[in-house]
Amino acid sequence: MFDDIIVPKAYLRNLLRKEEEKLLDTKHLFQTKDLDNVLDVYKIHKQQLYRLDRSEFLLEEGVQHTKLTEKWIKVNNDSEIDFYSNAQDAEDNEYWFEFKFTFKNGKIDKKELVTCELRTSKKERDSLDAMWDKEQEIFDRYRNSNLSYKLFAWLERRFQKITNWARKKHHLPLEIRKEAYKKSGRLKRDPAALDLYADQ
């Protein structure tokens, strides 16, 4: 998994050329694997790192879920965050950007451009698409004309249906699961533990 980090373009100005800057949004959304990796959202604001507060919980119809807020919490630790994104220019050429920011007590201490490169041009992508289309055309012709392939594909679909049917026939009844969760203490610890099985 990863986290998202919103970085205003102003923080990247001294690292990129003007034409490269234009490829990024004003508040560009990057990904990173250097934080908690739980799909959290971070941002840089006034040289400081912040995390979106998702700590308020709502209990709605017995289901506990996170309430999104616009409250941001300062992150005051020392960290080195590598973040990255791709972007396209007006001609549909695809670029890759990667940066590394070092934070001291949550404030930007050092900024570094790791990579800024053209990954694939529109011409290269069109060429790849044409290659894959040609391969699929040949595969599809084989799939549609080869009797052995068609027979075993048909059998696979039928066996999959039987497998799915059998799986539904041998699941634990909700009452048994509820009894087990109650006696083990799981239901007390996690009241929503049975929600996953409610439609069985």
The tokens for 35 are: 């934080």
Q: Please state, in angstroms and as integers, the Cα–Cα distance from residue 133 to each residue in 77, 126, 128, 138, following that order.
A: 50, 10, 9, 9
Instruction: Tell me the pLDDT band of 56, cut-offs 50, 70 and 90.
Output: low
Q: Of the candidates 46, 149, 32, which has an alpha carbon nearest to the alpha carbon of residue 97?
A: 32
Break the chain into its structural domains and give their ranges: 3-120, 124-197
Predicted confidence at residue 42, as pLDDT, reads 94
Would the pTM count as exceeding 0.85?
A: no
- 115 vs 36: CA distance, rounded Å: 23
Tens of pLDDT, residue by residue over 106-127, are 999 999 999 999 988 888 888 9
Using alpha carbons only, give the angle 44, 45, 46 rounded to the nearest 5 degrees: 125
Report the run of H or E that residue 41 belongs to, with start and end.
strand 41-45
Q: At 187, is the pLDDT very low, low, confident or very high (cuts 50, 70, 90)?
A: confident
Which residue, 88, 115, 86, 87, is CA-closest to 100?
115
For 69-117, the pLDDT digits (tens) are: 578 999 999 999 999 999 999 888 999 999 999 999 999 999 999 999 9
